[in-house]
Structure 1
Amino acid sequence: MTTFIASIFKKNSSFYNLMLWSLIAIVSAVVANVTVQGFLFLYHRITAALASVHAIPLWVWPIIGAVPVGFFVYSIVPSSMGEGIPSYLEGVRKRGGILSLRETVFKFMAALITLGTYGNGGFLGPVGRMSAGFMSFIGRVAGRIGGRRTIDPALQLLFPICGMAAAVGALMHSPIGAGIFAVEIILKTNMRYRQLFPAILASSVSVYIAKYFGFDPILVIRANQVHMEIILLLEILIVTVSAGFSGKAFILTYTGVSKLFQRDTILSPLKQTSFLIAGSAVSSLLIIANPYLLGKGFQITDALMIFNPDILRGFLPPGLPMFGVLFILILIKGLGNIFTVGSGMSAGFTGPAVMMGMLLGACFADLFHIIPGSPEYFALLAAGFAGYFASIMNTPIAAAIIVVELFGLYYSLPAGLAAVVGYMVNQNHTLYDMALEEREEKLEDQPIMP
């Protein structure tokens, strides 16, 4: 009996690993929810305060926000620039799960200023990077308890992975898809249970905590829970292929804009700030056609759920067909996000990618004369979401599962088909890998910060 119990608690036994993974998952879930809710609390307070300043139009604030980001945040820690996922990839792939705490703190400030001043971008990348960074620090501290390393170096890798998974879960309320996303985006075709199991545990616990305390997800899908007509398969395929090629165009455009702003070069604070102001100005001017696209654009997403043509049209000409309106919104949102992040401001791609994917689905729904609010309408939204997500992120499994978790099981067919097709169309053009190459070129001569 004693031998049996000893074998259970033996290092690297299944029970030992399960207990260790569970502990890391619980800590990650708590850290992620505190990080997410703290960031959202400050974000909402800042945006509300700026909205009350009636003397300054809302579209001017992103330009103003570029000044402190460039002169203060980036002049101190240049690596906190841009999207958060490339930094996460670098830390996990090449540094054994070591993510700089200093960069994490400054990333928090840069993203809060960018998004708080109505910058065009998403929460997932920056907030996920923050949670992963905090967990990486906790792992390093735990690994040196008593003056010696008590945690296997391979386990250090799990801390940022679980931190990312838990943050995505807390933001999107996707317990399984979030865990897979955190692993799939770094390991792709070489995913292993040793990383997947703890990540899924972390995201699942994180979603439970978020729901227990009544924290809302950043995206609520109110899809009609009824079977779609099977004859819609051709339309779904058209949406998925279009989403794949649209994602490819997005990546190529971002590559050109980032090169224009010299993202692979360390610049002086003045020049860097001027680029940030220029990128934010272009993004702000674009959204004048529809002010609801400003910042996160929550109103546009809500308008898609109930198909509110007034909000979707904004200031666009009344005579313009609705599919033309939706297509223009895709261009505006995409270019706005590209110029915001491409110039160096700290924001994410995921939120805009999700919105553009659903706008694309709605655009084709209007072309095919599909009734808004019907199961077929939401099937095209789900296909656009999954196809665009898989195309840009190159994470087809996570894309399919996240869409099913958000839309419901009735939409598993468009989600799965779109994720696979979107990935296959664009599998050799990964947005984050390209951004990671820029980051490495820019920071290769800089020391690793603690």
Structure 2
Amino acid sequence: MDSKFSFSKYISVMYKNCKHNIFVLLKWLVLSSLVGVISGAVVTIFKLIINYITSFREEHSFLLFFLPIAGLLIVWSYSVCGLKKDPGINLIISSIRDSKLNTLKQLNTNTSPNKHNAPQNSIISPVVDDIYATTNAVEKTVPVKLTPLIFIATILTHICGGSAGRTGAALQIGGSVSSGIASLLQLEKNDKKIMIMSGISAGFAAILGTPISATIFSMEVVCVGNMHYPALVPCLFASIIASFYAKGLGAKPESFRILETIDFNLVNILKILLIAIICALISMLFCVCLHTFPKIYERFFKNPYIRILAGAVIVVLINILLSTTDFQGLGRGLIVKAIKGDVVPYAFIVKLLLTALTIGCGFKGGEIMPSFVIGSTLGCTLGHLLGLSPSLCAALGIAGLFCGVTNCPITTILLSFELFGYNSVLFFLIVISISYMMSGYNSLYREQTILNNKL
């Protein structure tokens, strides 16, 4: 009797668990599909508009001189909407992060004798900035009005030649749209976090056309070393749907063909190691510039209108001196040239400085595509210097820079496969792992948490 009772009880528990699991699966299939369709549609339209205005700007170079006016409109629009200090993607990250990690991060910040170097036995490693979220940051909400603001502001930045990306804006759009859906459906806090993560994945997939890396990115970027696996299925399906939606509307996925590879031998490995270390150093420089330039601007120009006006004038003057439109907007053309092995040696530092100058004074956009440009042009230059394939080194540079600035090695590995295919896999793994290890605790996102020491 006891054995029969135990067996029937076991079957009953299994049935209840199975029923619950099926319900949860169906719930997230529906919700993630909703996020994928809506966020994917908005981000795809955003991408198509950016593509169109990029072509339009290249045919009408005089638009560069309207950059100061675009800057004033951006500051005014954010001010009217009550977002004088735009939190951007950092607000979205802090809205996802666990309150426990917020507490540990705050304790680490207060007790660490050197906040820019990870303590020997730290639980939470510090990021580049001293400003950390408080313990209740997880309760912050992502305003839906962030979607039209970042949408319009990024378009204004690009049409007038500001040096910025679009992926960061897409992440904000995806996150704010999905947050709005979650609020409308009155979902509980944990479900809302997963919805926002799904929105980030959908935005990433729609803008780059890389659903595999998009799935992992939102799970990895918030807290490096502690992925939130319950979000795996929602993020995956949101990414797939957003990616298919983007393709259906005519937005082509990003992909590049490596023209020439190299043999896997000791000499080449040593050269690739050097490239990886340099990529890590440049990624640190890029992050430091992005976090430092706003402070420099603010020190000299207290008024945000004067600040963005001054920054716009500086960017316009530099572009006039360069006598080329290559560094305006996304700079995707530089990636194509780098893959072909045809860029000027100083291209990477010019793009780095122009992006920091543009974003630092208050223009909007993203930093991920500029990191692609910086990495590809740097890699191409190093390839020429070291006698390696400039095409392969440009691709490796993209992987090295992206990993260094985001601290997301798993995402970077998957992204490399989606962008470049599966050739030279070991070289990509070497560059990504070394760049992650050597790039320190710098990050594009000051609200990112890095568990454990890198070294």
TM-score by length of 1: 0.80
Tell me whether 413-422 or 157-166 shows the greater mean CA deviation.
413-422
What letter matches 2:221 in structure 1? I
Matched, 1:248 2:284: yes
The answer on 1:165 being equivalent to 2:201 is yes
Q: Distance in 1 between matches of 2:262 and 2:269?
A: 13
8 Å Cα contact 2:163-2:354 kept in structure 1: yes
- Number of the residue aligned with 1:272: 304
- The one-letter code of the counterpart of 2:374 is M
**Counterpart Cα distance in 2 of 1:299 and 1:225:** 19
Q: Give the direction of change, closer, same or farther, for the CA distance of 1:44–1:80 in structure 2 (3 Å limit).
A: farther
Counterpart residue number, 1:382: 395
1:71 aligned partner, one-letter code = W
Q: Give the number of equivalent residue pairs.
A: 397
Identify if the C-alpha distance between structure 1 residues 142 and 356 changes in structure 2 by more than 3 Å, giving closer, same or farther. Answer: same
- For 1:228 and 1:208, how far apart are their aligned partners in 2? 36
Partner of residue 339, structure 1: 357
1:196-234 per-residue CA deviation (whole Å, 9 max, x = no partner) reads 3322332233223333554202x3311248674334211
- Out of 230, 249, 252, the position equivalent to 1:194 is 230
1:129 and 2:136 matched: no
Q: Deviations over 1:118-163 (max 9, x none)?
A: 21111111111011101111011112xxxxxxx4431111111101
User: Residue 389 of structure 1 aligns to which amino acid in structure 2?
Assistant: F
In structure 2, the residue matched to 1:291 is 325
Picking from 367, 379, 385, the partner of 1:361 is 379
Which secondary structure state, in structure 2, belongs to the residue aligned with residue 64 of structure 1?
A: helix
Provide closer, same or farther for how the CA distance between residues 113 and 214 of structure 1 changes in structure 2, counting only shifts above 3 A.
closer
- Letter of the structure 2 residue corresponding to residue 30 of structure 1: V
Q: Is contact 1:174–1:405 with CA below 8 Å preserved after alignment?
A: yes
Change (3 A) 1:114 1:37: same
Match of 1:32 in 2: 39
Asked whether the 8 Å contact 2:68–2:312 carries over to 1, the reply is yes
d(CA) in 2 for partners of 1:52, 1:371 = 33
Task: Give the letter aligned to residue 23 of structure 2.
Answer: Y
| Residue number among 4, 22, 28 corresponding to 2:29 in the alignment | 22
Answer yes or no: is 1:391 the counterpart of 2:404.
yes
Task: Tell me how far apart the structure 2 counterparts of residues 416 and 295 of structure 1 sit (CA, whole Å).
Answer: 30
The one-letter amino acid of 2:199's match is G
Q: Which amino acid aligns with 2:193?
A: L
Do the aligned residues in 1 keep the contact of 2:43 with 2:170 (CA within 8 Å)?
A: yes
Instruction: Return closer, same or farther for 1:370/1:395 CA change in 2, 3 Å cut-off.
Output: same
Instruction: Give the structure 2 partner of residue 57 of structure 1.
Output: 62
1:31 Cα shift?
Answer: 1.7
1:73-107 CA-to-partner distances (Å, cap 9, x unmatched) read 3343325737x322321222233573111233222
2:269 aligns with: 233
Q: Distance in 2 between matches of 1:360 and 1:404?
A: 20
1:424 aligns with 2:437: yes
Aligned residue runs from structure 1 range 3-14, under 5 A: 7=16, 10-11=19-20, 13=21
In the alignment, what sits opposite 1:42? 49
Per-residue CA deviations over 1:386-423 (Å, capped at 9, x if unaligned) read: 21111111112111211122111113222222222111
Letter in 1 for 2:93: L
Structure 1 position 9, deviation (Å): 6.2
**Partners of 1:45 and 1:418 in 2: how far apart?**
34
Q: Would you say 1:300 and 2:334 are equivalent positions?
A: yes
1:78 aligns with 2:73: no
Question: Aligned to 2:145, what secondary structure does the other structure show?
Answer: helix
Structure 1: runs of 5 or more not aligned: 144-150, 313-324, 437-450
Give the aligned partner of residue 330 of structure 1.
348
**1:47–1:204: structure 2 CA closer, same or farther, 3 Å change rule?**
closer
Q: Is 1:221 aligned with 2:256?
A: yes
> 1:177, CA displacement in angstroms?
1.0
Q: TM-score, normalised by structure 2?
A: 0.79
Aligned-pair CA distance for 1:174: 1.5
